[in-house]
Copies of this chain bind each other. A is one copy, B any other.
Amino acid sequence: MPMHPVLIAGQWRAAKSSGTFQAENPATGEKLPGEFPISTWADCDAALDAAAGAACILRTLPPEQIANFLTRFAERIEARKSELVEIAHAETALPKSPRLADVELPRTTGQLRQAAAAALEGSWAMPTIDAKLNIRSTLAAIGPVLIFGPNNFPFAYNGVAGGDFAAAIAAGNPVIAKAHPCHPNTSRLLAEEAIAAVRETDLPPAAVQMIYNLAPEDGLRLVTDRRLGAVGFTGSRAAGLKLKAAADAVGKPFYAELSSLNPVVILPGALAERGAKIVEEFTGSCLMASGQFCTSPGLMILFAGGAAEQFIAGVKAKLENVTPGTLLSAGVARSLAASVKMLQAAGAELVTGGSPLLGNRFENTLLRVSGKKFLAAPEKLQTEAFGNASLFVLARDEAEVKAILDHLEGNLTGGFYSDTAGSDDAIYARLAPLLRTRVGRFLNDKMPTGVAVSAAMNHGGPFPATGHPGFTAVGIPASLRRFAALHCYDNVRPSRLPAALRDKNPNGKMWRLIDGNWSHEDISA
């Protein structure tokens, strides 16, 4: 079987590899055709050199050209949609429709188009001008961005086509994508379209590069390399924290999305008012994509009592009535089983499920634990069980809920269900501030799955959900600002300023902060 080449410096070239791997169909366990290389440092080094050169060229290109690339790439993905959906389905077992074809692929191309619009308008960089002192600053491309894509979104978070990719390119940076080894064929197809769009729009050939896999030690070396500007990582906490430590030691911005339980508190009034409806909402959310979303509701907090028992019984019945879906890989299935065991060892009891099934599936699983037991081992009981499993914590009273909230780690999301008549309002007012500071996106009366690509979205949160609570991975223009450095110009001659900082607004549409006011105007002499 011939080995697939890697994409370096605009060429599909034979990898300098230390080994190979194959993708696997998670539904059947069969190896999928195609052998992929595990790149050695030689490939990384070549990609870094090429990316450094591309970064210099990208800085000089007009925004239109970058926008054109993003748009053409989106169009090319759409043109190859059916093949992409087939291959992604084979590699991930995610349903072809609606998930891959009707939700994730349109979301991916939508992100690319939003990024194109942001690059074209230029407001994302927040050009700021002090006209009197002639000091002017703007965010600017940070340099080559290395992107590690996760297993759970083969299109929308793919290192070579997803949200981080779109943001990094729109901010003017070349990307080195490290494909996820669970879906190399999907990544290959996307990279083929990316590099074709690069050629069509005359970007520097190394604007988009991709390798399939590498040894952990080369990953650690890569994230610290002087030629690299920043890193985007979505994946497991264990792998992410090792890479983050290496990057941090040399001050390399490392944007990580690591783990999240997405705690939801159901207040007593809501349970009494619409318990059955919330059963539907919860089970719909937690089983979506077999629970393999970063925002899956993994931790529910309830007030112990009859209403909670009824709610649990409703959820149990529902979970037992839905056929468990295939998980993304044998690794995910193993890890889910291990996490459920850890939760049990820490004091949680199984309500339903808890066992592996044939074909990389796992029983829909619900665990429960008392507030008291949770507080005895809060760290272990916050083990993420990535997949179709959730833990309910049953608190004795408000004080116990407060203590539980106080022991929560940082999460991407968190929220409250409360009744519509106002009987929960007082307790909400006391509890909400405790959860608010521990999450990025805070919800009312809504399950956390479903991350809209909106300018107001925060798909981020306090550590260990991410590495810094001020940044979001989803939402344009904010996601672009992760891949930028602040460039200030002091007394620089007008002709030498970047277009965004000259007196004339370069396109009449760019928002600039001029002497304290956001404006589309030119600066008058």
Contacts and interface: CB of A to CB of B under 8 A. Distances in A.
Interface stretch (A3-11, A24-32, A125-133): A125-133
A136 B488 contact: no
A471 B458 CA distance: 19
B130 A454 contact: yes
Contacts of A249: 245, 248
Interface in A127-178: 128-130, 133, 135-137, 139, 142-143
Interface string A446-469: 100000101111101011101111
Interface string A344-358: 000000000000000
A251 B462 contact: yes
Q: Determine which residue in A136, A143, A413, A490 has the highest number of CB atoms from chain B within 10 A of its CB, and name it.
A: A490
Interface stretch (A310-318, A387-395, A432-440): A432-440
Interface stretch (A43-51, A64-72, A510-518): A510-518
Q: Determine which residue in A139, A253, A485, A491 has the highest number of CB atoms from chain B within 10 A of its CB, and name it.
A: A485
Contacts of A245: 248-249
Nearest to A472: B486
A452 B485 contact: no
A251 B456 contact: no
B251 A468 contact: yes
A518 B123 CA distance: 10
Interface string A292-330: 000000000000000000000000000000000000000
Contact of A444 (B133, B458, B496, B517): B496
A306 to B, nearest CB: 27
A285 to B, nearest CB: 13
How extensive is the interface on chain A, given as a class? 35 or more
A437 to B, nearest CB: 7
A484 B460 CA distance: 13
Nearest to A407: B226
Contacts of A433: 56, 59
A470 interface: yes
Contacts of A468: 251, 253
Interface in A479-513: 481-482, 484-493, 496, 511, 513
A452 B253 contact: no
Contact of A463 (B252, B488, B493): B252
Given A135-B452, A470-B481, A410 B488 contact: no
Given A410-B251, A490-B441, A518-B518, A469 B142 contact: yes
A445 interface: yes
Given A133-B452, A133-B454, A456-B133, A490 B251 contact: no
Given A133-B454, A511-B518, 12 more contacts: A250-B463, A253-B470, A432-B496, A440-B486, A441-B488, A441-B490, A442-B492, A444-B492, A444-B493, A458-B488, A470-B484, A471-B486
8 contacts: A129-B456, A133-B454, A139-B470, A251-B467, A441-B488, A442-B490, A443-B490, A511-B518
